[in-house]
Amino acid sequence: MLVSTPLHGWTLYGPRLPETGIPARVPGCVHTDLLAAGVIPDPLLDRNELEVAWVGRSDWRYRTQLPAGQGHERTDLVFDGLDTVAAISVDGRPLGHSRNMHRSYRYDVTGLSGVLEVDFTSAYAEADRLRAELGARPNSYPEPFNFVRKMACAFGWDWGPTLPTAGIWRAARLEHWSVARLAEVRPEVTLRADGNGHVAVHLIVERTGRKPVTATVSIAGLATHVALEPGQDTATVEIIVPDADVWWPRGYGGQPRYQCRVVLSSNGSALDEWTRRVGFRRVELDTSADEHGTGFTFVVNGRRVFARGVNWIPDDIFPSRITPARYRERLGQAAAAGVDLVRVWGGGIYEDEAFYDVCDELGLMVWQDFLFACAAYPEDEPVRAEVEAEARENVVRLMPHPSLVLWNGNNENLWGYVDWGWQRELAGAEWGEGYYLDLLPRIVAETDPTRPYWAGSPWSGSWQQHPNDPDHGTTHSWDVWNRRDYTGYLDDVPRFVAEFGWQAPAAYATLRRAITDEPLWPDSPGMLLHQKADDGLGKLARGLTPHFPPPADFDTWHYLTQVNQVRAVATGVEHWRSHWPRCTGTILWQLNDCWPVVSWSAIDGDGREKPLYHELKRLYADRLLTFQRRDGRLVLAAVNQSRQAWIGSIELRVVHVDGSMRGHTIPLEATPDSVSLVELPTGIEDPSRELLVADCDGLRATYFAAAFRYPKPDFRIDVDEESVTVTANTVLRDLLLQADRLSPDARTDRGLVTLLPGESVVFRVSAEVDPATVPGAIRCIESHER
């Protein structure tokens, strides 16, 4: 039987280190080893990112002892991930080279033992060499990430630090085996129209000789055997599972999975084994034309889905630090917020198996980008061969996961070619189009025909339309935030919004842990380094201007920018969801952060939920009430994405700031997967003193006219050990309890809340509450709102 032995006892050598080196952790990276040894300060704190810039431009050596193989015909040295440009040798004898972070490497070391060395060259040096050899290519950022197959955002992004590292970032081991091993297992898992599951397992074996072997494939209590005679290295085994239990996205049904097992044997003795959990479901992408343009709708098991999504970036700038527990926590937060789709963005990594396992379990659909983002990429060798090897390996690795619903060619590169001046700069040079429209769709069609492929995001489906045409395919909405107020979301109805978002700072406790500036201010030195967006502070200020006067202090700035983020995202999502089925999905930029930063995230770099996170629970719930405009008039949209009809009564009230109100009861009936537009029997007579409130089945929609003048807030606070109750004596808009200001470890179950006079809200807190700290942790909109 194949025996796997992890390699331990690594030492790191390089500049500014003693001749004896320092202990190295594998999996790991240079930065984390240097940090553990006290050689560098924490690069994520204050301005330390600049202090450690030398690390990414240096060469490094990892060394350990390679033991001799025992009792097997063959011993392989296997690296699941080398980051990135490395030469591997044993006692000075070269074994091979790596130039791709996103694939694995295997070397025959049978009979070898001695000193194993992995010498890493700076990724900058490799990128600069290839750029000089192949010619420059346009890039949205100053760093040359498009010339090396490495996590692009390691070189910095508009939300991330510039910390390109090196190291053995995934497992390193010896594999000892005899006769044969399973070199590749590729399961095509589908759900047939008759309700039966179909599994076609394609096998490739590697041999040491010509002995016959047998592969046994089992699933759901069924087993099939296939004999591979000498010289036969491939086989396909098919199994039908009658009346298979169906895997569904969360909210639509359960997530049953079956264990699929492949055992390779010879003369009755097991040689190798492969086991994964798979799920039966059918995924289609409906891109048919209609009166509005060209659609983009996920259809899962025959049901059309409005995707409630978030974009995912690497959860740590040093991905080797991301544990299965951390994946589970972050994805669990997403599911708890109503998310049903996670897009793995193309400037990051193909995530660890643990990520996709949790998505399978939670019913989170995965949109997987191939790893190209915001740049023109050379199609010349040696880059092209690396791209193909990387794509084929990762398609095979990830295709067992039922959560995976889409392969996407790239992020913004087709758009960039048209709108960002690339054509002039390229002067006819290849830039990646051949990957997105030829190589990658061929690989998916050949390797994983059970899933759809889309060439890019955004992409209209054809060069006949602009790549970011909102009437066709997928759209990125960045004119809003970069140049326009969030009310600009109301100007069109995209078919599918794959990126949109609005910035806000991390939680106060997160900023205070990471930045020691005194006084802390939006443009203090540490804060500026933790704001990576081009003119990010200016855009935050201009975003506040139409709605609020300039903040007088940091705490007010922090609160109002959080409020603005919530309002911006709510404006977009409510508008787009109310236009189902014309609009069929929104993917918020972004769920998470990789360090403490001012960004578009709903969860900050320390894992703390921003107010936006709690707002997602409302925006992404199965049922949503929202005031919307249709043909110039105000209506109430009841969005029903649940599987049951929504039948109830709407309590509509016009509320005056003095607490008086006039109301109406309106019947509601919304069929499953529909939007019901309800005409309003009354409206606001005094926009400066009245607001509209609609309540139904515990859901609420509010409408404030731009001219509304808020009274001076008046409320009572009651505190017990683990909750804070606020009772309103006046209208309170966007009331917020900032739990981390009570205690850095405290969390609360709510974000922004609007209360009418006489109403109360209970904030449950995950730590004991000191009453003295509560007043300083509560904010709401003051009378000075514009």
* 412 carries an active-site annotation: yes
Smallest CA-to-CA distance from 618 within 682, 672, 699, 691 is with 699
**Catalytic option among 49, 126, 412, 690:** 412
Over range 596-624, report the average pLDDT.
98
Band (300; pLDDT cuts 50, 70, 90): very high
Over range 214-243, report the average pLDDT.
96
Is the separation of the CB atoms in 595 and 666 below 8 Å? no
Is the separation of the CB atoms in 147 and 127 below 8 Å? yes
Over its C-alpha atoms, the chain yields an Rg (Å, rounded) of 28
Which 8-state DSSP code applies to residue 559? Answer: H
- Determine the pLDDT at residue 284: 98
What CA–CA distance (Å, rounded) separates 436 from 312?
21
- Determine the pLDDT at residue 782: 85
For domain 292-621, give the fold.
TIM Barrel (3.20.20)
Q: What is the pLDDT of residues 220-231, one digit of tens each?
A: 999 999 999 999
- How far are the Cα atoms of 29, 85, 143, 165 from residue 60, in angstroms, in the given order? 10, 10, 21, 10
On the question of pLDDT at 558 being above 60, the answer is yes
User: Boundaries of CATH 3.20.20.80 in the chain?
Assistant: 292-621
On the question of pLDDT at 83 being above 90, the answer is yes
On the question of pLDDT at 582 being above 90, the answer is yes
Contacts 24+ apart (CB under 8 A), 660-667: 666/636
Element holding 120 (H helix, E strand): strand 114-121
SS3 at position 571: helix
Element holding 160 (H helix, E strand): strand 160-162
Which 8-state DSSP code applies to residue 450? Answer: T
Q: Is the dihedral of CA 461, 462, 464, 468 positive or negative?
A: positive
Over range 98-122, report the average pLDDT.
97
**What CATH number has the domain spanning 626-704?**
2.60.40.10
Tokens of 284: 């289609």
Q: Could you tell me which CATH class the domain 3-174 is placed in?
A: mainly beta
Which 8-state DSSP code applies to residue 139? Answer: B
User: Boundaries of CATH 2.60.40.10 in the chain?
Assistant: 179-278, 626-704
SS3 at position 386: helix
- Single-letter residue type at 608: R
Q: What is the pLDDT of residues 407-427, one digit of tens each?
A: 999 999 999 999 999 999 999
On the question of pLDDT at 596 being above 80, the answer is yes
Tokens of 473: 């395919």
CATH of 179-278, picked from 2.60.40.10, 1.10.3720.10, 2.40.50.100, 2.170.190.11, is: 2.60.40.10
Band (784; pLDDT cuts 50, 70, 90): low
SS3 at position 122: coil
What's the CA angle centered on 297, arms 291 and 300, to 5 degrees?
140
- Single-letter residue type at 593: D
H helices present in 200-341, as ranges: 324-336
What CA–CA distance (Å, rounded) separates 506 from 129?
38
Band (785; pLDDT cuts 50, 70, 90): low
Q: What is the pLDDT of residues 687-732, one digit of tens each?
A: 999 999 999 999 999 999 988 999 999 999 999 989 999 999 999 9
- Determine the pLDDT at residue 707: 87
Band (265; pLDDT cuts 50, 70, 90): very high
- pTM greater than the 0.85 cutoff: yes
What CA–CA distance (Å, rounded) separates 311 from 625?
25
- Single-letter residue type at 767: A
- Strand order of the β-sheet with 213-219 is 222-228, 213-219, 258-266, 269-278
Tokens of 487: 């009310």
Q: Count Cα neighbours of 328 within 13 Å in the Cβ-side half-sphere.
A: 6
